[in-house]
Chains A and B, each alone.
Chain A
Amino acid sequence: EVQLVESGGGLVQPGRSLRLSCAASGFTFGDYYINWVRQAPGKGLEWVGFIRSKTYGGTPDYAASVKGRFTISRDDTKDIAYLQMNSLKTDDTAVYYCCGQQPLGYWGQGTLVTVSS
């Protein structure tokens, strides 16, 4: 059974940093792009970014709204992906989902990040 489990969410002050983790099981993690998608309270889905599989270079790409502040990485030896979020803003408050496949066939349950003073 495919599982993606996010962790690391919580309450953080504006300007601070937070790192989310996404632990995968049930599929060949290294073969897949891993995406991060967020959903602000009561709002729609927003693609945050992805990291390609090593076959396609293992490089990340980001939405304009987070570029330069967020960094996506992966450790294929541990089947874990990370979302490092720096210089957080109140607008970054959202549930963050980790998603596998392209398009997004595998979804985690999400982790809530609240940016507030």
Chain B
Amino acid sequence: QSVLTQPPSVSGAPGQRVTISCTGSSSNIGAYDVHWYQQLPGTAPKLLIYGNRNRPSGVPDRFSGSKSGTSASLAITGLQTEDEADYYCQSYDSSLRAVVFGGGTKLTV
């Protein structure tokens, strides 16, 4: 059972918008930044969003992140078939003194 809770799967048609939620607690998301990763099939994860809402260079602005209280969300607009991947949220937990990941969400386009 992951400390950060994500829906196991989401889906959307090409061109649509989807959101992926990440729910935590006051000892993790409530106190620390949230980061998001995209893992395409057969590859290593890639940083998609850092510091709740910032995109690394090269990440399309179709991807956006937000955080409110003890929850965070990743939104993907203008869905493309190449967005089909697993998405993970990540933060730090002060009670566990550990980096924590969500269980991952599989996006089907």
Pairing of A with B: no
Where the two chains meet, the residues of B that have a C-beta atom closer than 8 Å to any C-beta of A are none
Where the two chains meet, the residues of A that have a C-beta atom closer than 8 Å to any C-beta of B are none
